[in-house]
A and B are shown apart, each in its own frame.
Chain A
Amino acid sequence: MTFRHRHLLGIEPLSPDEIATILDLAGTYVDLNRSAEKHAPALAGLTQINMFFENSTRTQASFEIAGQRLGADVMNMAMQASSIKKGETLIDTALTLNAMHPDLLVVRHPQSGAVDLLAQKVNAAVLNAGDGRHEHPTQALLDALTIRRAKGRLHRLTVAICGDIAHSRVARSNIWLLGKMESRIRLVGPPTLIPSGAAEWGVEVEHDMARGLADADVVMMLRLQRERMDGGFIPSEREYYHRYGLDAEKLSCAKPDAIVMHPGPMNRGVEIDGTIADDINRSVIQEQVEMGVAVRMAAMDLLARNLRAAASA
């Protein structure tokens, strides 16, 4: 079992072995979470602080439950309402928190690279819960665990990632992860929502859903932010739904056993048809949420082991 990192800042620095290590451990936590007694002592005595500089309900709740099930003292700080409004810099906030000796810091920030910056200034293990458009590693890990459980493997799959790739950290982390696991990645969306230079990432780029979904094992839909729909990136919500919204007809281009994923929260009728999202034979969206807790437990457990090893060394 190898996992040699102090922080979990992104998928980019992880090796395939390390990714497998996290997923294997997460698998055991899935079983724990499904049992009646959901507690394990892996983080007992440790303090976990969730710092969200950007709104989040789901991810924050997931990290909170993960920490509590492993026995950590969990504290949530709504950073938007706090000192950041008073002009304190990110680094000062980090140093202030650092003085309280947290062991695990879970951080979400609207700017790319901000979590890396913060990690340089604190002693705690930092988990990136999403930084700007850069990375959202636990989302990619929970997606990978979901895929692995549904398909039995992560290699040699064709995965179509559809929608607003340009503004999506989920897409970037998934591209890193699936690339490392040697799956074939297809980015599908209107050209305005495909980041420039994406074709040089070792992925295929398609602007047509039928071609993009052809023979896909996994169809990963991304959330389209409301503020992108004002005619700036796409002409209208209805044109987007017509061309890129996932409905039964478009899904029929994928393999018959293809699974449908979405990181949530969904815009039903914008990027995904409600009946697809609710189809228990195709959609694994609820399972993704479940895997999220397990993956976060595994990631925090591994980081805490490294923390303890470093402290006793």
Chain B
Amino acid sequence: MDLIFRDARLIDPERAEERRGDLFVSGGVVVDVPPPDADIVECRGKCLAPGIVDLGVKVSEPGERHKESFRSAGRAAARGGVTTIVTRPDTEPAIDTPEVLEFVARRAQADAAVNVLPMAALTKGRQGREMVEIGFLMDAGAVAFTDCDRVVEDTRVLSRALTYARGLDALVVGHVQEPGLSRGAAATSGKFASLYGLPAVSPMAERMGLDRDISLLEMTGARYHVDQLTSARALPALDRAKRNGLDLTAGVGIHHLTLNELDVAGYRTFFKVKPPLRSEEDRLAVIEAVAGGLIDIVCSMHTPQDEESKRLPFEEAASGAVGLETLLPAAMRLVHAGHLELPALWRALSLNPARRLGLAAGRLAAGAPADLVLFDPDAPFVLDRAALASKSKNTPFDGARMEGRVLGTWVGGARVH
């Protein structure tokens, strides 16, 4: 399918610019010259950008398909302008063998409308004791290794896994939290958590976790990505480590960029995420780090949870929120608030995650895959969680006024939404 996107506001994160113009697609990739007999997509000045590459999406297959399947997640992604989902292995059972990974890849291939790249667990059963078959799993298509929100507490286990991974040039994705301090915590410590009487953890636990892992990176030289960095006081350590030349990147979930600890008032469990929502000062510092490029990647941290696991007292309730469909409009809040421009936002949503995974996506240059999203950054709407394509409806944005509507999504030049 050859396409001409006519008169678009092109958002080009690679060149860090936006410009008005046309974009040509032939054979599933972006090309320089208009192909003959192409279909015309009239963009009328709306934004055309590389599709979002969402690093760290939970699809609940295998094990909990009632929460989210590849079909429903794929549909949610397409509607949200996400053209590549990088899936998490924190399923039941964990994705920790080539056999399970192949099953997942087959299911994804058959059912999902967008690109699906699986990550695998770093340790067997995500138990933090023995490393997985990193080599076999890479052969089977694993793009990165992570125990997700479980910290590998045994430093010797982690140092060996990082050393082994480095030998294969594998990317390890870690969750930085000091496990002793954060045990049992459901909120960020401070006057609000104390008033609500919730067990809480200091954001300093995040920096301690980061400090440990930075030391291990100096030891091992591994390729490492921090899944979410959410607190101001962890940022200088990240900056120093990057300046010291470590192969280190960091991400942050959209909810930590758009919500803060006050949203938990009234024990609203749809706002319970991991790590817990932070103070407004932390939120603003992390946004600034995204705008300045210190934090590389913004993702949805899409985590489907059913009603039963959320309709519980706050401490008992499951963590996580769905985000595939709301990532783009939520991120537009940052643009509308003047925190950053669209090309810088798309660097974090698309270009950087693609680069980190060695993908050609995330760009508009000739040869890049025609994974594209056309959207109106200003179109207002009120989010109705019942209308989400995800099987689980656990969004913190239910009833929220949002701006930014996806008008069309293309994967490899084929329209999926």
Interface residues of A (CB under 8 A from B): 89-91, 109, 111-114, 116-117, 131-135, 166, 169, 172, 195-198, 200-201
Output the nearest chain A residue to B266 by Cβ-Cβ distance: A116
CA distance A41 to B195 in the complex (A): 37
With A117-B267, A196-B200 known as contacts, the answer to whether A91 contacts B194 (CB < 8 A) is: no
* Interface status of B145 (Cβ within 8 A of chain A): no
With A116-B267, A132-B197 known as contacts, the answer to whether A197 contacts B313 (CB < 8 A) is: no
User: Which A residues are CB-close (under 8 A) to B311?
Assistant: 89, 91, 117
Output the nearest chain A residue to B316 by Cβ-Cβ distance: A111
What total count of A-B pairs have CB within 8 Å?
A: 68
* Interface status of B308 (Cβ within 8 A of chain A): yes
In the complex, which residues 274-331 of chain B have their Cβ closer than 8 Å to any Cβ of chain A? 308, 311-316
With A89-B311, A109-B313, A117-B313 known as contacts, the answer to whether A197 contacts B267 (CB < 8 A) is: no
Q: In the complex the two chains form, is B197's CB within 8 Å of A197's CB?
A: no
Closest chain A CB from B312 CB (angstroms): 7
With A90-B313, A113-B314 known as contacts, the answer to whether A197 contacts B192 (CB < 8 A) is: yes
Closest chain A CB from B197 CB (angstroms): 3
Q: In the complex the two chains form, is B202's CB within 8 Å of A196's CB?
A: yes
Q: In the complex the two chains form, is B314's CB within 8 Å of A198's CB?
A: no
* Interface status of B193 (Cβ within 8 A of chain A): yes
CA distance A195 to B314 in the complex (A): 19
Q: In the complex the two chains form, is A112's CB within 8 Å of B202's CB?
A: no
Closest 7 CB pairs of A and B: A197-B191, A133-B197, A113-B267, A195-B194, A134-B197, A112-B197, A111-B313
Q: In the complex the two chains form, is A89's CB within 8 Å of B200's CB?
A: no
User: Which B residues are CB-close (under 8 A) to A201?
Assistant: 191, 194-195
In which size bucket is the chain B interface?
A: 20 to 34
Closest chain A CB from B13 CB (angstroms): 39
CA distance A232 to B312 in the complex (A): 28
* Interface status of B381 (Cβ within 8 A of chain A): no
User: Which A residues are CB-close (under 8 A) to B200?
Assistant: 196
User: Which A residues are CB-close (under 8 A) to B267?
Assistant: 112-113, 116-117
User: Which A residues are CB-close (under 8 A) to B312?
Assistant: 89-91, 117
Write out, one digit per residue, whether chain B residues 337-367 have a CB within 8 A of any chain A CB (1) or not (0): 0000000000000000000000000000000
In the complex, which residues 175-219 of chain B have their Cβ closer than 8 Å to any Cβ of chain A? 189-198, 200, 202
CA distance A116 to B198 in the complex (A): 14
With A117-B267, A134-B197 known as contacts, the answer to whether A112 contacts B313 (CB < 8 A) is: yes
CA distance A112 to B313 in the complex (A): 7
User: Which A residues are CB-close (under 8 A) to B191?
Assistant: 196-198, 200-201
Output the nearest chain A residue to B186 by Cβ-Cβ distance: A112
With A111-B315, A112-B313, A117-B313 known as contacts, the answer to whether A197 contacts B194 (CB < 8 A) is: yes
27 A-B pairs in the complex with CB atoms less than 8 angstroms apart: A90-B312, A90-B313, A109-B313, A111-B313, A111-B314, A111-B315, A111-B316, A112-B267, A112-B313, A113-B196, A113-B197, A113-B198, A113-B314, A116-B266, A117-B313, A132-B198, A133-B198, A166-B194, A172-B195, A172-B197, A195-B194, A196-B191, A196-B193, A196-B194, A196-B200, A197-B193, A201-B191
CA distance A200 to B194 in the complex (A): 11
Output the nearest chain B residue to A111 by Cβ-Cβ distance: B313
Closest chain B CB from A5 CB (angstroms): 15
CA distance A51 to B227 in the complex (A): 43
With A196-B200, A196-B202 known as contacts, the answer to whether A113 contacts B313 (CB < 8 A) is: yes
Closest chain A CB from B109 CB (angstroms): 37
Output the nearest chain A residue to B308 by Cβ-Cβ distance: A89
Closest chain A CB from B200 CB (angstroms): 7
User: Which A residues are CB-close (under 8 A) to B192?
Assistant: 197
Further 11 A-B residue pairs, CB within 8 A, beyond A89-B312, A111-B313, A112-B314: A89-B308, A91-B311, A91-B312, A111-B316, A112-B196, A113-B313, A114-B313, A132-B198, A132-B313, A195-B194, A197-B192
Closest chain A CB from B192 CB (angstroms): 7
CA distance A267 to B214 in the complex (A): 48
